[in-house]
């Protein structure tokens, strides 16, 4: 019998790639997404699709009653850090209140495996680098705070109700497959914004802060390919046989500054990117860099796609495929 996974947020960036990878590996997939930030076209072909809010307990129960699920992968969340600083109410509602309704429905349905898409944002400003999972968690924005709150809730649920729960703290998810990539509206993430500036879709790229305590003054991040994130989920699923709560970083342990990434993108896609420096962005911390040894030793994770050039190439290829005009030079576009 083929195994079935319910994927919340499967119309979003990481959720769509994980769904695509699950289907490719022979799983059956049901995507639940309210399309508040996801896109219908991002739901992979072959997945069943239910457009609904994960916080709608009655409808969630109906979905769980209709089929037998081996696991739930929970990606649906609000995730834009700047917005989390100005509108924490929306983040608590989506990432804690609605998520709590979901895990209750999972518990009632007797589903025994739950994988949660958490974030490096739970750590806040690092005290030691690279960051291990036992690093203190002091979030600097409500996004990280709400991810942490739900992690803690899951740890109690795992213990009390015999569920096997795995939380993944992603560092900077990036890159694309040919079918699925990063498509946020509004876009706030660095790589798609660099591409927009490279393609003339925005006037310039803005560097948010050049006065951080880093070698070149700009923020440093650990970029991990979204397919390597998907791989971690599928490896975890294979090992989730006993109840309990586990947490893993997903990052490379190699990090790049905003200026370094800008220069690397220019080189890889062979375009000049106009840029300007501006003030720091609220909610950003100076450096994030993972220690992924726990994930490697426990789950046998071995990233295959996360070389920075590969991340840039795959994300650019996806953009060119979905927005062919981006591939044209400025003069060609004007013809």
* Sites for ligand UFG among residues 217-256 (CB under 6 A): 219, 221
The residue from 176, 193, 308, 315 that contacts ligand UFG (CB under 6 A) is: 193
From residue 209, alpha-carbon distances to 113, 119, 171, 219 in Å are: 41, 22, 20, 8
State in angstroms the smallest separation of the CB of 189 from ligand UFG. Answer: 4
Beta bridge partners of 138: 124
Strand ranges, E, within 102-214 = 113-119, 164-170, 172-174, 205-208
The residue from 17, 18, 31, 79 that contacts ligand UFG (CB under 6 A) is: 79
From residue 245, alpha-carbon distances to 113, 124, 161, 165 in Å are: 10, 22, 11, 5
* Sites for ligand UFG among residues 109-128 (CB under 6 A): 119-121
Closer CB to ligand UFG, 102 or 229, in the complex = 229
Closer CB to ligand UFG, 47 or 194, in the complex = 194
Q: Catalytic residue at 170?
A: no
Q: Which stretch binds ligand UFG (CB under 6 A): 10-18, 156-164, 201-209, 229-237?
A: 201-209
CA distance 180 to 296: 26
CA distance 177 to 315: 8
Q: Which stretch binds ligand UFG (CB under 6 A): 35-43, 57-65, 183-191, 226-234?
A: 183-191
Closest by alpha carbon to 224, among 284, 176, 286? Answer: 176
Say whether residue 258 binds ligand UFG (CB under 6 A): yes
The residue from 3, 61, 189, 294 that contacts ligand UFG (CB under 6 A) is: 189
The residue from 7, 11, 166, 207 that contacts ligand UFG (CB under 6 A) is: 207
Three-state secondary-structure class, residue 165: strand
For 244, half-sphere exposure in the C-beta direction (CA atoms, 13 angstrom radius) is 7
Closer CB to ligand UFG, 69 or 168, in the complex = 168
Catalytic site residue from 143, 170, 208, 223:
143
Two tokens, residue 90: 């929306």
The residue from 37, 142, 172, 177 that contacts ligand UFG (CB under 6 A) is: 172
Closest by alpha carbon to 265, among 333, 189, 324? Answer: 189
The residue from 93, 132, 137, 188 that contacts ligand UFG (CB under 6 A) is: 188
CA distance 228 to 60: 29
The residue from 13, 27, 168, 208 that contacts ligand UFG (CB under 6 A) is: 208
23: Cβ–Cβ under 8 A, 6 or more apart, which residues?
Answer: 29, 44, 46, 47
CA distance 54 to 62: 12
Say whether residue 81 binds ligand UFG (CB under 6 A): yes
State in angstroms the smallest separation of the CB of 114 from ligand UFG. Answer: 20
Question: CA 73, 16, 224 angle in degrees (round to 5)?
Answer: 85
Say whether residue 288 binds ligand UFG (CB under 6 A): yes
Say whether residue 190 binds ligand UFG (CB under 6 A): yes
Active site residues: 143
Which residues of this chain interact with ligand UFG, rule CB under 6 A? Answer: 79, 81, 119-121, 171-172, 188-190, 193, 206-208, 219, 221, 258, 281, 284, 288
């Amino acid at each position: 019998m083929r195994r079935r996974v319910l994927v919340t947020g499967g119309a979003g960036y990481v959720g769509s790639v994980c769904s695509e990878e699950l289907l490719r590996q022979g799983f059956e997939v049901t995507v639940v997404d309210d399309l508040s930030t996801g896109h219908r076209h991002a739901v992979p072909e072959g997945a069943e699709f239910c457009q609904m809010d994960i916080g709608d307990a009655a409808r969630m129960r109906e979905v769980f009653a209709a089929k037998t699920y081996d696991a739930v992968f929970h990606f649906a969340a609000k995730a834009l850090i700047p917005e989390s600083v100005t509108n924490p109410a929306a983040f608590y509602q989506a990432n804690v209140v609605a998520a709590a309704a979901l895990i209750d429905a999972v518990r009632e349905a007797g589903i025994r495996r739950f994988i949660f898409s958490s974030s490096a944002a739970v750590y806040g400003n690092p005290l030691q680098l690279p960051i291990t999972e036992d690093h203190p968690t002091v979030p600097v924005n409500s996004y990280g705070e709400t991810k942490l709150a739900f992690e803690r809730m899951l740890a109690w649920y795992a213990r009390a109700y015999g569920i096997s729960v795995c939380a993944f703290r992603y560092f900077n998810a990036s890159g694309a497959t040919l079918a699925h990539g990063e498509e946020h509206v509004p876009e706030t993430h660095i790589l798609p914004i660099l591409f927009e500036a490279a393609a003339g879709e925005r006037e310039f790229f803005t560097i948010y802060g050049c006065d951080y305590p880093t070698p070149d003054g700009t923020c440093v991040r650990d970029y991990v390919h979204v397919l390597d994130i998907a791989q971690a989920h599928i490896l975890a699923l294979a090992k989730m046989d006993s109840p309990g709560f586990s947490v893993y970083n997903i990052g490379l342990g190699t990090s790049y500054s905003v200026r370094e990434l800008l220069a690397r993108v220019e080189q890889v896609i062979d375009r000049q990117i106009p840029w300007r420096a501006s003030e720091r962005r609220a909610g950003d911390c100076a450096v994030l860099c993972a220690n992924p040894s726990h994930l490697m030793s426990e789950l046998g994770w071995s990233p295959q796609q996360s070389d920075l050039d590969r991340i840039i190439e795959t994300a650019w290829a996806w953009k060119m495929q979905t927005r062919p005009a981006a591939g044209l030079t400025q003069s060609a576009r004007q013809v």
